[in-house]
Amino acid sequence: MRVEVQGLGHRYGDNPWLFRELSAAFLPERTYALTGPSGSGKSTLLSIIAGWEAPDEGAVNLEGIKKVNWVFQSPHGMPQRSALDHVAHPYLVSGMTVRDAEVAAMSLLVSFQLAHTAERAFSSLSGGEAQRLMLARGVAADPQLLLVDEPTAQLDHATARQINDIIGQLAAGGRIVLIATHDASTRDACTDHLDLTQFAFAAERS
Q: What is the pTM of this model?
A: 0.91
Q: Are 60 and 3 in contact (CB under 8 A)?
A: yes
Q: Within a domain: residue 144?
A: yes
CA distance 143 to 122: 23
Q: Are 67 and 79 in contact (CB under 8 A)?
A: no
Per-residue model confidence as pLDDT tens digits over 125-153: 998 899 999 999 999 999 999 999 999 88
Q: Are 104 and 91 in contact (CB under 8 A)?
A: yes
Judged against a pLDDT cut of 60, whether residue 204 lies above it is answered with no
DSSP symbol at 192 = E
Q: Within a domain: residue 176?
A: yes
Return the CATH number at 33: 3.40.50.300
Per-residue model confidence as pLDDT tens digits over 171-201: 988 999 999 999 999 999 999 999 998 887 5
Q: Within a domain: residue 123?
A: yes
Instruction: For residue 84, give its domain range.
Output: 29-54+66-190
19-26 vs 68-71, strand pairing mode: unpaired
Q: Within a domain: residue 183?
A: yes
Instruction: Determine phi and psi for 66, rounding to 5 degrees.
Output: -105, -20
Per-residue model confidence as pLDDT tens digits over 13-42: 988 899 999 999 999 999 999 999 888 899
